[in-house]
Amino acid sequence: MAKASDTNRHVDIGSKAGVEPGEGRFPLGDFVLRSGATLRGVTLAFKTHGSLNADKSNAVIYPTSYGAHHSDIEWPIGPGKALDPERYFIVVPDMLGNGLSSSPSNMPPPQDRAHFPRVTVLDNVIAQHRLVAEGLGISRIALVVGWSMGAQQTFQWAASHPEMVERIAPFCGTARTTAHNFVFLEGIKAALTADAAWKDGMYEDQPARGIRAFARVYAGWGFSQPFYRQELYRQLGFSSLEDFLVGFWERRFLRRDANNLLSMLWTWQHNDLGATPGCDGSLEQALGSIRAKALVMAGETDLYFTPEDIRYEASCIPGAEFRVIPSVWGHQAGNGLNPVDSRFIDQALKGLLAA
């Protein structure tokens, strides 16, 4: 059975360590989660692009999405793009559980595999804040931007650090996971864990059959009905529907570790900006506390982060602009897969950064 690429217990992701620009790992030591559990010997993986300017005013934080490594989401970064390394110092922190930062797959016992504690979006942002403030010496952030689970972390950054975050651009994600989105995630979780080879998370070999099932269920949600109707997977180089299900979806998740996928899934299911300290459990209060200039975007045909849900949340943020990405690519409109949607998002980010 194939090993997932992120199952190595000891990750070495680059030659540059600590807080130097480039790929790096930031040691957080023993990190107390909001739940009260302590994750011991935590490291946060990250990658930076560009350089911090003299007055430290050009930092952009761009957290990772579900199942992604920092290298998977670089499409909006580059010369001439909104996230231009010539102008901005872009920090891409890897989510806890993604296989590069501390994760079920790389933690030593006793917190390895199924014993990895549950981590929230808020925990992630607390860890990222330490990287940014202590590690990189940044006290002002020009922009926090993220897609999907990256959007969840973006909302959290703005609510947790209103004095620090100047702009946010969360897209195709919500500040609180909706009930329907929760059910979609229940489905992919049940599909993965239906495989007895999962062994309640204590497998040695990946439960590949369960991961394939997980991927096949995900496929229906990730793109929209018209995407499939128009066979747009052919634009991505796939020769047939089955080729797409195997070559895009199964391949995407077979690279990953099952416990890592389940860890991030729990984080997603339990995402709730209302749990921000001082917000009394109120989503509306948390969104209302945001002071950053906000551009909130939704994919027109996104099946789980729906435009309706995102529009409502945007309406709770003072002065926020809500914009719909006109696309039939569903949730994947925000994943840099097609030039039209990518240009739309790039233009939007450029406008926000110029403001």
Residue with Cβ nearer its own copies (39 or 219): 219
Catalytic residue among 6, 302, 309, 341: 302
Cβ pair 143, 158 in contact under 8 A: no
CB of 284 to its own copies, least distance (A): 15
Cβ pair 75, 342 in contact under 8 A: yes
Is 35 considered catalytic here?
no
Residue with Cβ nearer its own copies (31 or 248): 248
CB of 27 to its own copies, least distance (A): 38
Cβ pair 65, 153 in contact under 8 A: no
CA distances from 83 to 73, 212, 322, 349, 355 (A): 12, 34, 20, 8, 15
Bridge partner list, 23: 47
CA of residue 209 relative to chain centroid, distance: 25
Pairing of strands 59-61, 23-32: unpaired
Query: DSSP letters along 263-324, please?
Result: HHHHHHHT-BGGGSTTSTT-HHHHHHT--SEEEEEEETT-SSS-HHHHHHHHHTSTT-EEEE
Give the whole-angstrom CA distance, residue 142 versus residue 58: 6
Residue 112: burial class (beta carbons within 10 Å; 0-12, 13-18, 19+): middle
Please give the residue ranges that form the binding site for its own copies (CB under 8 A): 178-180, 182-184, 186-197, 209-210, 212-213, 216-221, 224-229, 231, 241, 245, 303-304, 306, 308-309
Residue with Cβ nearer its own copies (2 or 355): 2
Is 6 considered catalytic here?
no
**Residues 6+ positions from 156 with CB-CB distance below 8 Å:** 121, 122, 124, 125, 175, 273, 276
Catalytic residue among 148, 160, 224, 263: 148
Residue with Cβ nearer its own copies (139 or 225): 225
CB of 243 to its own copies, least distance (A): 13
The C-alpha torsion from 90 through 269 and 321 to 78, rounded to 10°, is 20
Residue with Cβ nearer its own copies (116 or 218): 218
**Residues 6+ positions from 162 with CB-CB distance below 8 Å:** 289, 290, 291, 292
CB of 216 to its own copies, least distance (A): 4
Residue with Cβ nearer its own copies (191 or 279): 191
CB of 159 to its own copies, least distance (A): 22
CB of 38 to its own copies, least distance (A): 29
User: Sheet harboring 143-147: ordered strands across?
Assistant: 23-32, 38-49, 89-93, 59-61, 143-147, 167-171, 293-299, 321-325
Is 57 considered catalytic here?
no
CB of 229 to its own copies, least distance (A): 6
Structure tokens at 249: 């979806």
Residue with Cβ nearer its own copies (328 or 349): 328
Residues belonging to the active site = 148, 302, 331
